Amino acid sequence: MAERDSAAAAKHRLTAPWCFSCPLRTCADFEEFSEAELAFMANFKVEHGRAWAGEVIYQQGAARPRLFTLFSGWAARFRTLHSGERQLLAFVLPGDFVGLETVLAQSPHHSIEALTDITFCGFDPDRLNELMSRPDMAARVAWYQVLDQRHVERRMTAIGACDGRRAMADLMLDLYLRLGRRALLRGLSFSLPVTHQQLGDALGLTTVHVHRTLRGMRQEGILTLKDRRLIIHDLDRLREAACITNEESRARPLL
Amino acid sequence: MAERDSAAAAKHRLTAPWCFSCPLRTCADFEEFSEAELAFMANFKVEHGRAWAGEVIYQQGAARPRLFTLFSGWAARFRTLHSGERQLLAFVLPGDFVGLETVLAQSPHHSIEALTDITFCGFDPDRLNELMSRPDMAARVAWYQVLDQRHVERRMTAIGACDGRRAMADLMLDLYLRLGRRALLRGLSFSLPVTHQQLGDALGLTTVHVHRTLRGMRQEGILTLKDRRLIIHDLDRLREAACITNEESRARPLL
DNA sequence: CGTCCCCTTGAGCAGAATCAAGCCTAGTGG
DNA sequence: CCACTAGGCTTGATTCTGCTCAAGGGGACG
């Protein structure tokens, strides 16, 4: 129930080898790993990096490959159009694995930016083929990719087939469920370190409309977003307002 | 330049083993396969199936796994909400590989429907692990997944960050480029066997607005959609109107 | 020949964008 | 310690994109 904080992150950085003791592994959301698999991942890991809020980890079109699992904090994956518009593709939460595209393609089609100060487990991009040579790990990567794709398709459906209110409700419910599976909730409330601008970029709305939508839901007694923290007052009504309610069943891999 | 037609499909069905002679492999778009890889895929294949326009190949939430590469015709991948709205996630074109999710997850998060009569190479879902045990094939699957995800994210960006006109232009350009890489164009024109309703579901617009958007672009001399066929009059202006212009560089795998 | 589906068009309406301005808070520098 | 600034939130007024409702036309098929 307690939120992961910088103290936990600091503790983690002093423990070696990290992968074995990674506190994220204790979350029910993640698949079990065998000793051998853990040993492999520990060896695959090359850094425990950190970045500050606002920092761009890698950029759409840039060359340098980068492969990591977010350990603490929030990040965002987004695309920028030449005309200046920006579409936020996904919020990256602790436990999310990012950057496969940067290794397999010459250059990624999206950028990643830290929304808060973050720490992450960096892997060696040059050794990805070793990872993919192990059938067990290749299967995990494939499953992870399927989950990731599902998630993007869920968000796309919310944007394309629903109005702003429903899309907003769906995003909030989505975040609530994802954070819950990672034990990052405090009851019905969680830290949402995101500006209205960024929410708008995620939903295809303007900041003005994001505000009005949130105000509407607050007045209806569904939820409140205040001081970078979301409080859900009525989970049932939120579920009702969202366009998608069913969730994942199988655990996801933690790489 | 010539379009693939039912005659080619019929001829293909009589040739054995199919995979070696698959006419799709001649397209520049697809990665080279070694003899050994081809032999493996030929063995992996279990049927050369067909379905009629309107048929649902598999359904969101259904259990039966299904793994195939579309050989001829068009299909669509979509999600349906309980409230009835439908979001078209992608148009499936010849050469596209579909159904990994149906094998890895208990049930898929989307449905697939044939938009025209189609034929496809069906693979044995129970033997997917054999495929993933081969590092070469696992890498191809991962690369394919990355491309697929990119594609969905491109469409999502068009829907979320652009107005109807730009989203429409982007979709048409996208189809033009994808079909071109598979040699399914006739100059600046191609078969687009899709209703306004389906275009609307893909773009998050109503049929009425799809029509007005297309009429606008016709009057501007950019393109004409008539009798299930799209004719591009001015590719440069279409590119200008679309939100994304850069394309894939590396070849995609054909499974 | 009727029916169904799809395309087409018009009129009116609503959700969301734009424009513009005021407020609050945190951070900066004098 | 206070003045100044900048970024983000809040609100109102106005405009416009895209939706809803409604109706007519054309082609395919039984």
A147-196, pLDDT tens digit by residue? 999 999 999 999 999 999 999 999 999 999 999 988 999 999 999 999 99
Rounded (5°) CA angle A104-B136-B90:
55
Determine what percent of chain A falls in helix, strand and coil, rounding each to the nearest 5. 45, 20, 35
Q: Tokens in use for B112?
A: 């697939």
pLDDT at A19: 63
Q: Quick check: B42 contacting A, CB < 8 Å?
A: no
Q: Quick check: B132 contacting A, CB < 8 Å?
A: yes
B26-35 tens-digit pLDDT: 776 788 888 8
What residues have CB less than 8 Å from A156, skipping those under 6 apart? Answer: B87, B89, B152, B155, B156, B159, B160
Please answer yes or no on whether B145 and A146 come within 8 Å at the CB atom: yes
* Confidence grade of residue B8 (pLDDT, cut at 50, 70, 90): very low
Measured CA to CA, the distance from residue B61 to residue B109 in angstroms comes to 6
Taking the alpha carbons of B193, B197, B199, B202 in that order, is the dihedral positive or negative?
Answer: negative
Per-residue pLDDT, averaged over A104-131, amounts to: 92
Per-residue pLDDT, averaged over A70-86, amounts to: 93
Q: Tokens in use for B73?
A: 């015709």
Please tell me which residue lies nearest to nucleotide D21, judged from CA to C1': B208
Mean pLDDT, chain B, rounded, equals 87
- What single-letter amino acid sits at A84? G
Determine what percent of chain B falls in helix, strand and coil, rounding each to the nearest 5. 45, 20, 35
* Confidence grade of residue A247 (pLDDT, cut at 50, 70, 90): low
Cβ of B116 less than 7 A from strand D: no
Per-residue pLDDT, averaged over A217-224, amounts to: 96
pLDDT at A206: 96
Nearest to A160 among B87, B139, B143 (CB): B87
Per-residue pLDDT, averaged over A223-247, amounts to: 90
Instruction: Give the H or E element holding residue A209.
Output: helix A207-219
Please tell me which residue lies nearest to nucleotide C25, judged from CA to C1': A227
**In angstroms, how far is CA B198 from the centroid of its own chain?**
14
* Confidence grade of residue B40 (pLDDT, cut at 50, 70, 90): confident
Mutate to test the interface with A, among B106, B134, B149, B152 (most CBs of A within 10 A): B149
Please answer yes or no on whether A135 and B133 come within 8 Å at the CB atom: yes
* Confidence grade of residue B3 (pLDDT, cut at 50, 70, 90): very low
Q: Quick check: B247 contacting A, CB < 8 Å?
A: no
What residues have CB less than 8 Å from B23, skipping those under 6 apart? Answer: B4, B8, B12
Per-residue pLDDT, averaged over A97-110, amounts to: 91
pLDDT at A246: 67
Helices marked H in chain B:
6-14, 18-21, 35-44, 100-104, 128-133, 135-161, 164-181, 196-203, 207-219, 235-241
pLDDT at A21: 65
Per-residue pLDDT, averaged over A40-68, amounts to: 89
pLDDT at A28: 66
What residues have CB less than 8 Å from B116, skipping those under 6 apart? Answer: B53, B73, B74, B193
- What single-letter amino acid sits at B178? R
Instruction: Tell which B residues from 89 to 108 touch A, by Cβ distance under 8 Å.
Output: 89, 100-101, 104-106
Which positions of strand D lie within 7 Å of protein CB atoms? 7-13, 17-22
Please answer yes or no on whether A142 and B143 come within 8 Å at the CB atom: no
pLDDT of B5 over the 50 cut: no
Q: Quick check: A197 contacting B, CB < 8 Å?
A: no
pLDDT of A7 over the 70 cut: no
Count the residues in chain A.
Answer: 255
Measured CA to CA, the distance from residue B108 to residue B111 in angstroms comes to 7
Measured CA to CA, the distance from residue B98 to residue A158 in angstroms comes to 22
Q: Which of B65, B84, B58 is nearest to B124 (CA)?
A: B65
pLDDT at A16: 43
B116-126 tens-digit pLDDT: 999 999 999 99
In which residue are the tokens 């009798």 written? B227
Chain B nearest-CA residue for A144: B104
B44-94 tens-digit pLDDT: 888 889 999 999 999 998 878 999 999 999 999 999 998 889 999 999 999
Share of chain A above pLDDT 90, in %: 67
Taking the alpha carbons of A180, A184, A190, A191 in that order, is the dihedral positive or negative?
Answer: negative
- Chain B residues near residue A160 by CB distance under 8 angstroms: 87, 156, 159-160, 203-204
Quick check: bond before A17 cis, omega within 30? yes
B234-250 tens-digit pLDDT: 999 999 999 876 666 67
Per-residue pLDDT, averaged over B208-235, amounts to: 96
pLDDT at B11: 42
Angstrom CA distances, A70 to A93, A236, B49, stand at 7, 30, 43
A135-145 tens-digit pLDDT: 988 999 999 99
Please tell me which residue lies nearest to nucleotide C5, judged from CA to C1': B195
Distance in Å from D13's C1' to B121's CA comes to 59
Instruction: Give the H or E element holding residue A157.
Output: helix A135-161
Per-residue pLDDT, averaged over A119-140, amounts to: 91
Q: Quick check: A16 contacting B, CB < 8 Å?
A: no
pLDDT at A102: 93
**In angstroms, how far is CA B23 from the centroid of its own chain?**
17
- What single-letter amino acid sits at B54? G
Are the C-beta atoms of B217 and B168 separated by less than 8 Å? yes
Per-residue pLDDT, averaged over A215-240, amounts to: 95
Measured CA to CA, the distance from residue B204 to residue B210 in angstroms comes to 10
* Confidence grade of residue A11 (pLDDT, cut at 50, 70, 90): very low
- Chain B residues near residue A201 by CB distance under 8 angstroms: 161
Measured CA to CA, the distance from residue A99 to residue B49 in angstroms comes to 36
Are the C-beta atoms of B16 and B170 separated by less than 8 Å? no
